[in-house]
Amino acid sequence: MSGGLTGWLRGRVGLIAAVLLLVVVAAMAVAPWIFTPLDPLATDTSQVLQPPAWGHPFGTDQTGRDVFTRVVYGASYSLGVGVGATAAALVVGIIVGTLAGLAPRVIDSVAMRGVEILLAFPEFLIALFAIAVLGPGPVNVATAVGVAAVPAYIRVARAETLVVRRSGYVEAARGLGVHPLRVAVAHIVPNTLRPLGVIATIGIGTTIVAAAGLSFLGLGPQDPTPEWGLLLSGGRNLLGQAWWVAFFPGVLITLTVVSATVVGRRLRRAGEGRA
Amino acid sequence: MIENREVVRISGLTVRFGQTVVVDSVSLSVAAGECLAIVGESGSGKTLTARALLGLLPDGASVAVDELVIDGVDARRYSQRDWRRIRGARVGLVSQDALVSLDPLRRVGAEVAEVIEIHGARGSGERMPRAGIVDTVTGMLARVAVPEPAERARQYPHELSGGLRQRALIASALAGEPGVLIADEPTTALDVTVQAQVLDLLAGLRRDGLGIVVISHDLAVVSGLADRVAVMKDGRIVEEGVTDEVLSRPQHPYTQMLLAAAPRLGDGPFADRVAARRRSPSIEITPGGLDTAAGGLLDQRESTPLLHATGLGRDFRRPDGSLRSAVDDVSLVVHAGASIGVVGESGSGKTTLARLLLAFDDPNRGSVSLDGVEWSGVPERRRRSRRGDIQLISQDPLGSFDPRYTVARIVAEGLRGDARRTSPGDRAARIRQLLDSVGLDASLEGRRPHELSGGQRQRVAIARALASEPRILVCDEPVSALDVSIQATIIDLLNALRRDLGVALVFVSHDLAVVAQLCDEVVVMKDGRVVESGATDRVFRHPEHPFTRALVAAVPRMP
């Protein structure tokens, strides 16, 4: 069966790499100390702007902090914001979308027109607007990014609800005299989750980029905090002399987002195959 | 003599998927002007055999064949490219669902013209001038008896009726002038009167010298068309011979079983069996059941019908804004323990009527009462507790199950009242008892719907309906998606439920034979109205309304 194994591996290399990378990033976020013994905030004026070397694989920045360590510790912020904001957007999206899908047509129409207005603006603009209202800060960045992501989830949740609502099993439950609330909780919501889970996986990547973007503009966590967007923006002015300060955080943002997208698309294809 | 020229000769055809043999050394031949029917149930390999004649086997199938001659050419070593050259030109395909097979964005004429453009006039490979193609297309549509062919050619598939679509599909299959036509369940999606016309058309083509291979699950459908029948089971041909011989003196037990299982109008083994069952005294009456022989109950039933629909009407808006009455002025009385068949062609309003009776939909006119109490037009919360009294058995049980649920959970959802609130142990016992009553093994409890066979799914659906101890089952084409042998067992089961539990049946079906076996009374619908009703025997033996007469006459009969 070794032929079968190589055959199975072929075409899945990208997926396996993506999953591995996400696992590593998740481990960095949860337990950064196993990757690096150094302190992300410790400055060392004797080691300013050192290029990548054995002791500092990603080099050091202008205050002599180890870039690798800062990137590792930054994972928790970026992933935290990405996962947290996506989860919050998902929950709100499911509740609002399901209610809209089940509501009388007038209410549904009003809600959907509102969602369409939100969708008409670029997500990032909405996030910026939310920050302008809430003020800068790490929690507000997560909130802003989540708010920006919600309309898309509402739409999908509503569309799935409309499909499931017309399904034979919802009619069957109704025919058995099951209470509508129970039908919604026991049949409708669980059966809309699969496609939502898939787009949420892809959404994590988008959210990380959006959060890093806000931080890059200085609207998120402030300087000593190691956050990928902030690291990128800090290294921006040094690109000519010390490319590594901005390069490695940038690479990690890119790889994480691409991996999340690869896994998400794979899940989607698997879901379509099943349907 | 051209009549004896063989147009298909295949021997030792074996198709495998991995280790599984799905077609096992099948050999058959068809002469010009001859029709061979391949009959079998789902999974018998009949469709794969037909596909092999077109080089259209799915990916992953490995094929071995000793001889494969199609319209004079040896196609054993054909590449996909070679197959494309002869498909349409030497062998044509007519599939089951014309609406799916025809490109919805292309006019019917273009569909037929494409074949001519690819293969040239009369399959010669020579290009044809534009005007010539139009004439040929019109001629082709006329040949398959499409009325006003020039106009029809400019229409889109959705503008044509099912029968016309099937004709257009046959026209496109014939446009390249093939010597052989493969028809895979060509009439299964059609109404019985339309089916009769399409079968006539195929018979005419056969007389003109075309070789036809028709694939069907229905022996009665092919009995009038086919010269010879090959019965397939588990990938093998178990019996082959002249149609009359096979049908009147089946040799193989499987053929005998198929014939016995097929419901038919008039007399036959199935009718005898059902009649015997009806005559047998009801000895297994369980609490809540009704003894149909008890005079006192009869009187009571006369006074308050279980389900009473009066003057029902339901309108739907057409895309252009005008109203169409799907159901118009329909009245129906269902007494406890009765069995009423509702027959009609597609679009006659049968399903809309069923939905109105179930109060899944409210009528625009008229009303329904259940057990003497208002049932239609009342708020859902007042209906909810009574819904268990009237249950639906649908054509598509799989669609009626939450895909995440196990069999046990599906059935449990039907429990109501005390049965729902009881201890988990008692509930599990009740579920096992329900599964047992529909002939399902308790070991299936943990399965999910997609892991069950079609017959098992329908049994689970019935078990769930029974869980709420209904007094009426509304069955909407409950057996039309099932193989005949499975059909017979489900019909037996419904009959037994009616006899033993006194459950009334409203049985909606396009299949007159099934209704004849199961129902005491029948209602014939056409265009939303009831055109005839009465005792089943009387209506089917001596139909009064011309439409009923046409319907009864169109039912395919075995010789």
pLDDT single digits (tens) B159-183: 888 888 888 888 988 888 888 999 9
Q: What pLDDT does residue B360 have? A: 92
For the segment B57-64, the average pLDDT, to the nearest whole number, is 85
- Half-sphere CA count of B50, side-chain side, radius 13 A: 27
Q: Identify the weakest region by mean pLDDT among B109-123, B198-212, B378-392, B529-543.
A: B109-123
Domain of residue B156 covers 99-177
> Domains of chain A (ranges plus CATH)?
70-274 (1.10.3720.10)
pLDDT tens string B499-548? 888 899 999 998 888 898 899 999 999 999 999 999 998 999 899 999 99
Q: Is B85 contained in some domain? A: no
pLDDT digits (tens, 9 = 90+) for B227-267: 999 999 999 999 999 999 998 899 999 999 888 887 777 65
Q: Choose one of B147, B177, B207: the last residue of a domain.
A: B177
Q: Please tell me the distance in Å from B370's CA to the nearest CA on chain A.
A: 14
B155, B280: one domain: no
Q: What is the Cα–Cα distance from B85 to B119, expressed in whole angstroms? A: 8
Query: Please, what is the Cα angle at B367 between B366 and B372, to 5 degrees?
Result: 145
Identify whether B539 is part of a domain: yes
pLDDT, residue B73, reads 86
B407, B525: one domain: yes
Is residue B492 domain-shared with residue B350, that is, in the same domain?
yes
Q: pLDDT per residue over B360-394, tens digit each?
A: 999 999 999 999 899 998 998 899 989 999 999 98
Q: What is the pLDDT of residue A135?
A: 87
- Determine, yes or no, domain membership for B2: no
pLDDT at res. B297: 41
Give the CATH number, domain containing residue B548. 3.40.50.300
pLDDT score for B302:
54
User: Do B161 and B284 belong to one domain?
Assistant: no
Give the pLDDT confidence score for residue B145 in this predicted structure: 85
Higher per-residue confidence, B301 vs A238: A238
The one-letter code for the residue type at B110 is A
B157 and B294 in a common domain: no
Residue B469 belongs to some domain of the structure: yes
In a domain, B418, yes or no: yes
- Under 8 Å CB pairs connecting chains A and B tally to 55
**Does B129 reside within a domain?**
yes
A177 CB neighbours in chain B (<8 A) are 383-388, 416, 468
Q: Which residues of A touch B385 (CB under 8 A)?
A: 177
Write the secondary structure of chain A as one string of H (helix), E (strand) and C (coil).
CHHHHHHHHCCCHHHHHHHHHHHHHHHHHHCHHHCCCCCCCCCCHHHCCCCCCCCCCCCECCCCCEHHHHHHHHHHHHHHHHHHHHHHHHHHHHHHHHHHHHCCHHHHHHHHHHHHHHHHCCHHHHHHHHHHHHCCCHHHHHHHHHHHHHHHHHHHHHHHHHHHHCCHHHHHHHHCCCCHHHHHHHHHHHHHHHHHHHHHHHHHHHHHHHHHHHHHCCCCCCCCCCCHHHHHHHHHCCCCCCCHHHHHHHHHHHHHHHHHHHHHHHHHHHHHHHC
Cβ partners under 8 Å of residue B59, min gap 6: none
From chain B, the residues in CB contact with A175 under 8 A are 358, 360, 387, 391-392
Name the residue with higher pLDDT: B88 or B333. B333
Q: Is residue B345 part of a domain?
A: yes
Q: What is the mean pLDDT of chain B?
A: 85
Question: What's the token pair of residue B536?
Answer: 């089943």
Which residues in B lie closer than 8 A to residue A173 (C-beta atoms)? Answer: 402, 413
Instruction: Say if residues B443 and B383 touch (Cβ distance below 8 Å).
Output: no
Task: Give how far B399 is from chain A: nearest CA, Å.
Answer: 5
The residue among B128, B160, B177 that closes a domain is B177
Q: How many domains does chain B have?
A: 2
Choose the final residue of a domain: B160, B177, B194.
B177
Does pLDDT of B41 surpass 70?
yes
**Interface contact A193, partner B, CB < 8 A:** no
pLDDT in tens, B430-460: 999 999 988 898 889 999 998 888 889 999 9
In this complex, do A169 and B400 lie within 8 Å of one another by their Cβ atoms? yes
Cβ distance of B399 and A187 shorter than 8 Å: no
pLDDT at residue B267 in the model: 52
With respect to residue B46, please indicate whether it lies within any of the assigned structural domains. Answer: no
- Looking at the structure, tell me whether residues B157 and B287 fall in a common domain: no
Task: Say what the pTM is.
Answer: 0.77
Residues of chain A with pLDDT under 70: 1-5, 7-8, 10, 271-275
Mean pLDDT over B329-344 rounds to 92
